[in-house]
């Protein structure tokens, strides 16, 4: 197939659409920034969808709540039901949770088919001794059924990834114990916060927001929709990695000083977009 | 012991309320049943003194600390143990419209805890401040044939159960009460 086409949805208040489009292009796909008020039927020409970070509708009422009700989301829900990959990053993840696309029926029987119910929330961070917005670098590692997730299949489980986080409402939570246990049992928590050495831990700052089971990313049953709080698009180039994370990526970046080609090489976040590309190609091959 | 409640409203157009109202009316089909939607920031400060002393403390908290109310952009109503001592019941509904109030707050609200600590330590109120609760006080003007019907309609607007149902509360992270 020709280059997969990905729509990066721009709501009023989105602010990561250009970095996201750059990461999509770097992964060998064609990116188009698609404004929320365009005719939703035009989405039919795209192979995948990304809801980028930012503050859609200024987080009015609740992060992601207003965007979730817009007509364009109906079309994206429909495309996801047909198997198209949908990635929500940060505010995009909040939108996916507010539409019920994530977790999408976990613990409700029926083989995890989407129910349309809102079964969880991305709640305000719980951080020891502080409250509000938190911006830092975090490490994440694949977990659960990550190999079946459209955005993670290219990763190695042995290598934690440094990815920036920047959010005030990033704590995956649910009041329904059956949903919480199903997420674990069904392997839907596909990325967890961890130390630079790869150890999953629940306390702040390793788990920077108090998220359920240190969840950084949760996917639906089919594996084609993922809500992800960290920002992989902000680290698609090696040069974007800080020097002092104490991991192999910082070592690699420091080692690349003076070599502009190496600095422009892939950063740790690029693999998620490459996985999306491979998923789209595989899906097209089956069609 | 007394409960001080501060209801703080923007003097300018409240964009949160107007966006929520437009979403409910345009995207969610409540155009003919929702005629008014307003919001106020809500603070409840439980204090360790009786109502008379609490009234004086409430006015100080509202008008002197500048923590809850910025007089350049806010107005404030004050209640002590449920009785207004400044401002009044706000029931400006049109004929045929029933007003329902709902208080919505986040579970595990760290900001409320930190506000209580600020009052106790930074502002010096000490143990006079026992606890702080923070939320949003919504007022819904509803076209409904009875109070019960208005309450049911309010529930359907407030509680987000699915992508098609409810907006103002995600029950997995927030609590609400209809007043």
Alpha carbons A25 and A20: distance in angstroms, whole number: 9
Size of interface A-B (CB pairs under 8 A): 88
Q: Is the pLDDT of residue A210 over 70?
A: yes
Nearest to A121 among B114, B168, B170 (CB): B170
In the stretch 149-168 of chain B, residues with CB closer than 8 A to chain A read 160-164, 167-168
CB contact under 8 A, B162 and A57: no
3-state secondary structure of B120: helix
Residue-number span of the structural domain to which A47 is assigned? 5-286
pLDDT value of position A181: 94
* CB B168, CB B103: distance < 8 Å: no
* pLDDT > 60? residue A271: yes
Question: Is A173 an interface residue toward B (CB < 8 Å)?
Answer: yes
pLDDT at position A105, please? 64
Distance from CA of B159 to the nearest CA of A (A): 10
- Our count of domains for chain A comes to 1
For A165, the token pair is 């986080």
Residue where the block lists tokens 């300018």: B12
User: Among all chains, which residue has been given the structure tokens 């307003």?
Assistant: B38
Tell me, yes or no, if B31 comes closer than 8 A to chain A by beta carbon: no
Q: What are phi and psi of A214, to 5 degrees?
A: 55, 35
- pLDDT, position A92: 98
Write down the pLDDT at residue A33: 98
Q: Please indicate whether, in this complex, the C-beta atoms of A126 and B110 are within 8 angstroms of each other.
A: yes
pLDDT band at residue A114 under the 50/70/90 scheme = low
What is the model's pLDDT at position B91? 60
Give me the CATH number covering residue A50: 3.40.50.880
Q: How close is the nearest chain B Cα to the Cα of A213, in Å?
A: 16
Q: Residue A10: what pLDDT? A: 98
Would strands A48-51 and A189-194 be described as parallel, antiparallel, or unpaired?
Answer: unpaired
Lowest mean pLDDT among A30-39, A53-62, A111-120, A271-280: A111-120
pLDDT number for residue B108: 86
Q: What is the CA radius of gyration of chain B?
A: 17
Residue B114 and residue A131: Cβ atoms within 8 Å? yes
Dump pLDDT digits (tens) for A160-181.
999 999 999 999 999 999 999 9
Task: Give, to the nearest 10 degrees, the angle between helix A17-26 and helix A270-286.
Answer: 60
Contact across the interface for B162 and A116, Cβ inside 8 Å:
yes
* Residues lower than pLDDT 50 in chain B: none
Q: What is the pTM of this model?
A: 0.94
Mean pLDDT of A226-251: 97
Domain ranges of chain B: 2-178
**What pLDDT is attached to residue B110?**
86
């Amino acid at each position: 197939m020709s280059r997969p086409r990905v729509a990066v949805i721009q709501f009023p208040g989105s602010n990561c659409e250009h970095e996201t489009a750059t990461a999509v292009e770097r992964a060998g796909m064609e990116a188009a920034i698609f404004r929320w008020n365009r005719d939703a039927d035009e989405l039919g020409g795209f192979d995948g969808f990304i809801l980028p970070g930012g503050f859609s509708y200024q987080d009015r009422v609740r992060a992601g709540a207003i965007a979730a009700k817009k007509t364009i989301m109906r079309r994206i829900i429909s495309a996801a039901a047909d198997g198209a990959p949908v990635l929500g990053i940060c505010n995009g993840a909040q939108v996916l949770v507010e539409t019920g696309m994530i977790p999408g029926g976990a613990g409700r029987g029926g083989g995890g088919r989407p129910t349309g119910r809102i079964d969880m929330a991305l709640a305000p961070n719980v951080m020891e001794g502080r409250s509000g917005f938190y911006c830092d670098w975090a490490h994440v590692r694949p977990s659960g059924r990550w190999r079946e997730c459209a955005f993670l299949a290219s990763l190695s489980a042995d290598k934690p990834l440094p990815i920036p986080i920047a959010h005030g409402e990033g704590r995956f939570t649910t009041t329904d114990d059956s949903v919480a246990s199903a997420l674990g049992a069904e392997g839907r928590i596909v990325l967890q916060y961890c130390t630079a050495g790869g150890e999953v831990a629940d306390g702040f700052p390793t788990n920077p927001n108090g998220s359920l089971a240190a969840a950084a990313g949760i996917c639906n049953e089919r594996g084609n929709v993922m809500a992800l709080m960290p920002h992989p698009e902000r680290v698609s180039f090696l040069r974007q990695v800080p020097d002092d994370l104490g991991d192999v990526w910082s070592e690699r970046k420091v080692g690349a000083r003076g070599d502009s080609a190496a600095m422009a090489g892939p950063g740790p976040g690029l693999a998620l977009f490459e996985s999306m590309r491979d998923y789209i190609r595989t899906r097209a091959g089956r069609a | 012991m007394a409960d001080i409640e501060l209801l703080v409203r923007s003097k300018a157009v409240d964009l949160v309320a107007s966006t929520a109202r437009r979403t409910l009316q345009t995207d969610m089909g409540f155009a003919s049943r929702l005629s008014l939607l307003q919001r106020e920031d809500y603070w409840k400060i439980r204090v360790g003194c009786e109502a008379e002393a609490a009234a004086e403390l409430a006015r100080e908290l509202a008008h002197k600390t500048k923590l809850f109310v910025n007089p350049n952009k806010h107005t404030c109503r004050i209640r002590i143990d449920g009785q207004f001592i400044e401002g009044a019941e706000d029931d400006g509904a049109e004929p045929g419209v029933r007003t329902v109030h709902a208080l919505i707050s986040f579970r595990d609200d760290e900001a409320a805890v930190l506000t209580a600590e600020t009052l106790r330590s930074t502002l010096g109120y000490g143990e006079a401040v026992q606890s702080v609760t923070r939320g949003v006080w919504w007022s819904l003007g509803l076209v409904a044939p009875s109070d019960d019907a208005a309450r049911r309609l309010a529930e359907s607007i407030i509680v987000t159960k699915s992508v098609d149902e409810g907006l103002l509360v995600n029950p997995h992270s927030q609590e609400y009460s209809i007043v």
